[in-house]
Amino acid sequence: MPTKKPGKLKSAQTKLHVVKGDRVKVIAGKDKGTVGEVIAVHPERQKVTIAGVNIVKRHLKDAAAQPQGPAGAKGGIVSSEAPIHASNVQLVVRNGAGDEVVTRVGYQRVEVTKRRPDGSEYKSFRSMRIARATGEEI
């Protein structure tokens, strides 16, 4: 009996360059050029859901006909956003003139002063997101 080979291990990336609430522009795919707000982030799958982008239609059965389903859920054709890969979106920020420009995301470590519960203070670092196009904090 042949032994089963272990599957290819994916790298466990836990962070994406965009977060919920960011304005992004789609740079590839059927909705290329569309700007929208990130409404959900799935870092384990490296996908993001953007308002008004990648609209799909789902055909749902009437839930009243099924005893275990929620009461009152109507059936029919429902349109909703589907996730797209995070590499197909780019962050949109405002520059000094007030225009919206796309940018890459950089990270900068800044020193901050933190306070312990007993009242004493100590120095620490935190990571800050930087827009590469403007150099400003996001």
The pTM score is 0.76
Fold of 23-131: SH3 type barrels. (2.30.30)
Q: Domain residues of the chain, as ranges?
A: 23-131
Side chain identity at residue 95, one-letter code: N
Q: Which residues contact 48 (CB under 8 A, 6 or more apart)?
A: 16, 18, 24, 38, 40, 41, 42, 83, 84, 86, 89
- CA dist list (Å): 102 to 61, 84, 125: 41, 18, 28
Mean pLDDT within 105-133: 95
pLDDT at 31: 95
Q: Between 2 and 40, whose confidence is greater?
A: 40
Structure tokens at 134: 């403007």
**52-94: pLDDT as tens digits:** 999 999 998 887 766 665 666 788 999 999 999 999 999 999 9
| pLDDT score for 63 | 74
Residues 132 and 105: beta-carbon distance below 8 Å? yes
